[in-house]
Amino acid sequence: MTLVPNIHRLKSWPANYSAVLNGDKRAENRINDRNYLPGDFIALSEFDPALGDGGNYTGRAMLVRITHIIHGGAFGIIAGHCMLSIEVLAVYRQQASPALSAE
């Protein structure tokens, strides 16, 4: 049986987004509420909490692939969380709008 990779839509605050973009940050520590798997993709949208009333999307976005996962409960990672190793596949712009639904 071949599994079809999932595409997870997530927000990233500006400092973290920029660090992923320039290659300084190659991992994401996330609550493991989405059953992340190696080979899945993340559509990462930059979200600035200082824009507008309660934050807004900037329009900067990228597609990354999950290459490795360490599950919580070991290696100092909180149970219920996971550390995702990621690689950037594509960078693009999207309409800056609160209507974009990344969590």
- pLDDT, average across residues 21-50: 95
**What's the pLDDT at 3?**
79
pLDDT digits (tens, 9 = 90+) for 38-79: 999 999 999 999 988 778 999 999 999 999 999 999 999 999
Spell out the domains of the chain, with CATH numbers in brackets: 7-93 (2.30.130.30)
Positive or negative, the CA dihedral 3, 75, 65, 63 is positive
**What's the pLDDT at 55?**
81
**What's the pLDDT at 8?**
96
65 exposed, middle or buried (CB, 10 Å; 0-12, 13-18, 19+)?
A: middle
Judged by DSSP in three states, 70 sits in strand
